[in-house]
Structure 1
Amino acid sequence: MGQPVVVFIDPEELDVEPGARLLRDAGFEVRVVGSRDPGEIAAAAHDAEALIVGYAPVDAALLDRLPAVRMLATMSAGYDMVDTAEARRRGLWVSNLPHAATEDVAVHALAATLSLVRHLPRADATVRGGGWNTEFGELPCRASELTLGLVGFGRIARALARMAGPVFGRVAAFDPHADPAGWPPEVDRLGLDELVGASDVLSLHTPLTPQTHGLADGDLLARMRPGSFLVNVSRGELVDADALVRALDSGHLAGAALDVFPVEPPPADDPLRTHPRIRLSPHSAFLTDASQRAYVCAPAENVIAWHRTGRPLTPVVDPTLEGAVS
């Protein structure tokens, strides 16, 4: 009997070798497909037992072409690239990486927030243009007089709340799925409408689901406080891009910071890429030297654990609990 096969698909900028080494040492044959093309993936993974998934969509059509696959391990905390309902129906395991870059994304979100609040890009441009603080224009607000609002209150948002608490006057959050018993007393728990209306900075930390797709639409943005800011380090599709541009053009919102986009990378003529009130980063909130290794080693460890024990370390779809049948 041959070696079990695992395939990395669409790892993008990540160096998969540390994870591949773990898998080879555990007895796997390892292949890499640097593409989201279903045909290329199906050709390389036709006999694979497990896929380690970057951002390539894994849907029913692709799974139909991969009859040997029993395990899908994502290289991220998010797993919206996998059709989890279809995986559950087929009795497949799905795992994610809930801890790989919690600190890194939270620090990035805080840095982006403070850059907006302190008007750092404008300050930089003023000095580079030969000006000084007398030409600074509208003055920043004091952070201790502002409210930071978090939409979603999972691991990253909770880490951000701990970091931001000593800086901001108030930290509040909305999350209908969070356990009230574990809610920290220093973070106000609000409904979504109340949070949107109370926040000077609204930071998005919710997974992408059919219910959250386009969450930050024209209606929500209109309910934000005049002169407030939007930060998104979660998924680009949470934000209605056209509505955001309109809110910025009208002056209703003072600015936004985006690490994620509906199309990545955004086209050269994308208003999100060219708007002067949007601060951009290239989906890099998760990237540090430590997280680079974790993003390829942790999914490999999930696959190894599943192969040895029948269960990955961090499952998000457990077919033994869901009653799925193959």
Structure 2
Amino acid sequence: MRVVVLDDYQDVARSSADWGSLDAEVVVEHEHLGPEELVARHRGADVLVLMRERTPVDAALLDALPEVRLLVTTGMRNASVDLDAARERGVAVCGTEGSASSAAELAWALVLDLAHRVTWEDAALRTGRWQTGVGRDLAGLTLGVVGLGRLGRRVAAYALAFGMEVLAWSQHLTAEAAAHAGAALVPKDELLERADVVSVHVVLSERTRGLLGAAELARMKPGALLVNTSRGPVVDEAALVDALSRGHLGGAGLDVFDREPLPLDSPLRTAPRTVLTPHIGYVTDQVYRQWYAMALEDVAAWQAGAPVRQLA
């Protein structure tokens, strides 16, 4: 059996799990492979281990890799995998459980960075300047959480610890669930109008793509801060760059983008008052060890005829 671990950018897959315990040849790819190169290198692969949505798997790719019988994705959801196509071709799809801690912690790190101008003051200090701007206390301000799921609830808890008021909105959120998390359920427009900081934690879908566009960003308070650690397409990038360039928003902290890695010519790279991180909300030693150990477990269970954590 041939197992191919894809998109291990940081060369951590082999040290994060005991792949040698598998009765299989395991190949790890550290650079991203486009579909043609993936097919050329690994036409005989039986198993593909995917890192998040880095490698889309559709019907055409599965047809070009007819030996593939198992896909394992890190996480229990992957919008880049065509589950129907996999099911039609008898390809099993399994996932791994994850932790909400790292992504929520990064979201709060971006909130703190923006509020206290950490990145900008660090850059200024290194060029000889001193105290170039004025930050803001979070205590007494209002956080708006768009999507009060597992991650959103953690971020809401951090905000409460910092003495903030918390507002929340998502399409199916109830007042009782919001109150249980220490938040007040309000309509989306009201949340955008009242919040000093907006943090996005929704799953990307056709309903949430472009959820925060030009009209929504215009509703936000002048000087408000936006943090997105969810998925890039939830926020309209062009509209966000415009809102920052016009000075309407006080800053944006982004860990996710429409295209990843972020293209060198992306306007976000030169947009004012931005803190950008390369989708590292899940990039911690603990998460990698958990994901790859579970991915190995998925492969071993499937090989034994009893797959676990199946998505398709």
TM class by smaller structure: 0.7 to 0.9
Over the matched positions of the two proteins, sequence identity in percent amounts to 38
Q: Note if contact 2:75-2:98 (Cα within 8 Å) is conserved in structure 1.
A: no
Is 2:104–2:155's contact at 8 Å kept on the other side of the alignment? yes
Question: What residue in structure 2 maps to residue 114 of structure 1?
Answer: 112
Q: Residue type of the partner of 1:57?
A: P
Larger RCO: 1 or 2 (CA < 8 Å, sep 6+): 1
Normalising to structure 1: TM-score of the pair?
0.83
Does residue 150 of the first structure (1) align with residue 133 of the second (2)?
Answer: no
**Which amino acid letter does the alignment assign opposite residue 96 of structure 2?**
L
Q: 2:252 — aligned with what?
A: 256
Alignment of 1:278-289 (within 5 A): 278-289=274-285
What amino acid does structure 2 have at the position aligned with 1:85? D
Structure 1 position 192 matched with structure 2 position 192: no
The root-mean-square deviation of aligned C-alpha atoms, in Å, is: 2.6
Q: Which residue of 2 aligns with 1:223?
A: 219
Assess, with a 3 A threshold, how the Cα gap between structure 1 residues 309 and 206 changes in structure 2: closer, same or farther: farther
2:167 match: 172
State whether residues 20 and 30 of structure 1, in contact with CA within 8 Å, keep that contact through their aligned partners in structure 2: no
What residue number does 2:2 align with? Answer: 5
Aligned to 2:69: 70
CA–CA distance in 2 between the matches of 1:92 and 1:154?
30
Matched AA of 2:22: A
Alignment length (residue pairs): 308
Establish whether residue 35 from structure 1 lines up as the match of residue 32 from structure 2.
yes
Equivalence for 2:199: 203
| Alpha-carbon offset, residue 110 of structure 1 | 0.3
CA distance in 2, matches of 1:178, 1:306: 36
Decide whether aligned partners of structure 1 residues 35 and 119 sit closer, same or farther in structure 2, where only a CA change above 3 A counts.
closer
Which AA in structure 2 matches 1:59?
A: D
Q: Which amino acid aligns with 2:115?
A: V
Distance 1:164 1:88, change over 3 A: farther
Q: Deviations over 1:30-64 (max 9, x none)?
A: 22344322233224443433211121111110011
Q: Where does residue 162 of structure 1 map in the other structure?
A: 157
What residue number does 1:52 align with? 49
- Structure 2's unaligned 5+ residue stretches are none
- Note the C-alpha offset of 1:300: 1.9
> Matched residue of 1:145: which SS?
coil
Q: Aligned equivalents of 2:47 and 2:136: distance in 1?
A: 51
Supply the distance in 2 between the matched residues of 1:44 and 1:189 (Cα, whole angstroms).
51
> Which stretches in structure 1 are left out of the alignment for 5+ residues?
319-326
| Whole-angstrom distance in 1 between the partners of 2:76 and 2:11 | 15
CA deviations on 1:218-239 (whole Å, 9 max, x unpaired) are 1221122221111111222222
